[in-house]
């Protein structure tokens, strides 16, 4: 009797789990449909990833978005770094109020061609900390993808938190048509090892890798212009070759990058036509090629 009862109970538990799985798959399917409708006029979507924090991922994301916008493309920059959203600070938009209705959030305009949405706009004060558990992160990212009204965009650049956690995984589930990821590393071994994990992550979730960027690659002395290799250079490039992914360029450690971000503007906008700004021209080439390929096919 008891055995029967237990096995029934187990069976019904298994059924419940299976049902939950089916429901969540259905939910994800429904989410994807709603997101697809909302992003119907967004031509290309890409994510900027890094193996660890502090390597300049958000700085690279901002400058990629600004470089594309500077070329006349309509660009959206979405910051889903829930633990340390730095885009509002880097773009001079800290404390900017959000505008929206029940099911729609409007991004914040930064110049003619660039619109920004950040999880940082949801926290009122700079020091606010929210404890984000996995499901809460999933809901937030889903809401951002489903509710933000970008309008027609050529490119949506998504700044993801460092590592291979819930956020990039959620993006890969909810945006199966993502064009790919740009991976940012610094040249020293520790950072390069971590970005290898990001490459494996992308491969596991079938996310295309647009390329690797090596940031803080040598220090340019602001007085004499001499280059010092503080973190060595070339680690990112070697690793990209070894792992068979494109290498997009090396950005030096440049005091002007910090100055620009402290001023709340992108480096490429503030210091165009410099050697460092030219590196961003190389970095965005595969992104521009996405549109070229599309035009050739149509």
* DSSP state for residue 106 in the 8-state scheme: E
The answer to the question of residue 86 lying near ligand ADP (CB under 6 A) is yes
Cα–Cα distance, 235 to 189 (Å, whole number): 7
Applying CB under 6 A, the site for ligand ADP has a residue count of 17
The answer to the question of residue 157 lying near ligand ADP (CB under 6 A) is no
The answer to the question of residue 251 lying near ligand ADP (CB under 6 A) is yes
The answer to the question of residue 67 lying near ligand ADP (CB under 6 A) is no
The answer to the question of residue 58 lying near ligand ADP (CB under 6 A) is yes
C-alpha 34, offset from chain centre: 21
In 195-276, which ranges are E strands?
Answer: 209-220, 227-228, 247-253
The answer to the question of residue 82 lying near ligand ADP (CB under 6 A) is no
Handedness of CA 118, 48, 55, 161 (dihedral sign): positive
The answer to the question of residue 92 lying near ligand ADP (CB under 6 A) is no
Structure tokens at 57: 């991922």
Question: Closer CB to ligand ADP, residue 63 or residue 170?
Answer: 63
Residue labelled with tokens 């900027």: 48
Question: Closer CB to ligand ADP, residue 172 or residue 266?
Answer: 266
The answer to the question of residue 57 lying near ligand ADP (CB under 6 A) is yes
The answer to the question of residue 265 lying near ligand ADP (CB under 6 A) is no
CA angle, residues 232, 234, 238, in degrees to nearest 5: 135
Residue of 50, 63, 67, 233 that binds ligand ADP (CB under 6 A)? 50
Q: Which residues does 174 contact at the CB level (< 8 Å), separation at least 6? A: 28, 31, 32, 35, 141, 142, 145
The answer to the question of residue 23 lying near ligand ADP (CB under 6 A) is no
The answer to the question of residue 261 lying near ligand ADP (CB under 6 A) is yes
How deeply is 86 buried, as exposed, middle or buried, from its count of CB atoms within 10 A (0-12, 13-18, 19+)? Answer: buried
Using the contact rule CB under 6 A, the part of the chain among 103-111, 167-175, 256-264, 289-297 near ligand ADP is 256-264
Shortest distance in whole angstroms from residue 123 CB to ligand ADP: 16
Using the contact rule CB under 6 A, the part of the chain among 47-55, 108-116, 149-157, 237-245 near ligand ADP is 47-55
Q: Are 58 and 79 in contact (CB under 8 A)?
A: yes
The answer to the question of residue 257 lying near ligand ADP (CB under 6 A) is yes
Buried b (16+ CB within 10 A) or exposed e, 16-36: eeeeeeeeeeeeeeebbeebb
Structure tokens at 115: 């619109």
Shortest distance in whole angstroms from residue 253 CB to ligand ADP: 4
Shortest distance in whole angstroms from residue 74 CB to ligand ADP: 23
Shortest distance in whole angstroms from residue 57 CB to ligand ADP: 4
Shortest distance in whole angstroms from residue 62 CB to ligand ADP: 8
Residue of 39, 59, 107, 156 that binds ligand ADP (CB under 6 A)? 59
Cα–Cα distance, 290 to 27 (Å, whole number): 30
- Please give the span between the terminal C-alpha atoms of the chain, in angstroms, as a whole number: 68
Q: Which residues does 88 contact at the CB level (< 8 Å), separation at least 6? A: 79, 94, 95, 96, 116, 118, 120, 121
Question: Closer CB to ligand ADP, residue 184 or residue 240?
Answer: 184
The answer to the question of residue 64 lying near ligand ADP (CB under 6 A) is no
Question: Closer CB to ligand ADP, residue 31 or residue 81?
Answer: 81
Residue labelled with tokens 């979730």: 205
Give contact residues for ligand ADP (rule: CB under 6 A): 50, 53-59, 86, 215-216, 251, 253-254, 257-258, 261
């Amino acid at each position: 009797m008891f055995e029967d009862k237990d096995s029934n109970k187990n069976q019904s538990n298994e059924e419940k789990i299976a049902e939950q799985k089916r429901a969540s798959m259905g939910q994800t399917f429904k989410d994807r449909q709603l997101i697809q409708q909302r992003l119907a006029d967004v031509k290309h979507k890409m994510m900027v990833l890094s193996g660890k924090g502090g390597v300049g991922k958000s700085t690279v994301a901002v400058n990629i978005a600004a470089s594309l916008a500077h070329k006349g493309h309509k660009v959206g920059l979405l910051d889903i770094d829930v633990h340390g959203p730095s885009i509002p600070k880097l773009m001079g938009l800290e404390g900017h109020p959000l505008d929206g209705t029940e099911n729609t959030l409007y991004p914040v305009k930064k110049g003619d061609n660039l619109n920004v949405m950040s999880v940082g706009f949801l926290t009122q004060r700079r020091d606010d900390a929210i404890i984000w558990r996995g499901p809460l992160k999933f809901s937030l990212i889903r809401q951002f993808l489903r509710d933000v009204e970008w309008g027609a965009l050529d490119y949506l650049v998504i700044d993801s938190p460092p590592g291979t956690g819930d956020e990039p995984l959620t993006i890969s589930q909810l945006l199966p048509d993502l064009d790919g990821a740009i991976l940012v590393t610094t040249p020293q071994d520790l950072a390069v090892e971590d970005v290898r994990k990001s490459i494996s992550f992308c491969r596991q979730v079938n996310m295309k890798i647009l390329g690797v960027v090596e940031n803080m690659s040598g220090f340019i002395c602001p007085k004499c212009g001499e280059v010092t290799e503080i973190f060595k250079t070339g680690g990112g490039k070697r690793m990209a070759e070894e792992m068979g992914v494109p290498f997009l360029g090396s950005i030096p450690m440049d005091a002007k990058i910090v100055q620009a971000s402290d001023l709340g503007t992108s480096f490429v906008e503030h210091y165009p036509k410099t050697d460092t700004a030219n590196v961003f021209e190389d970095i965005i080439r595969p992104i521009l090629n996405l549109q070229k390929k599309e035009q050739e096919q149509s």
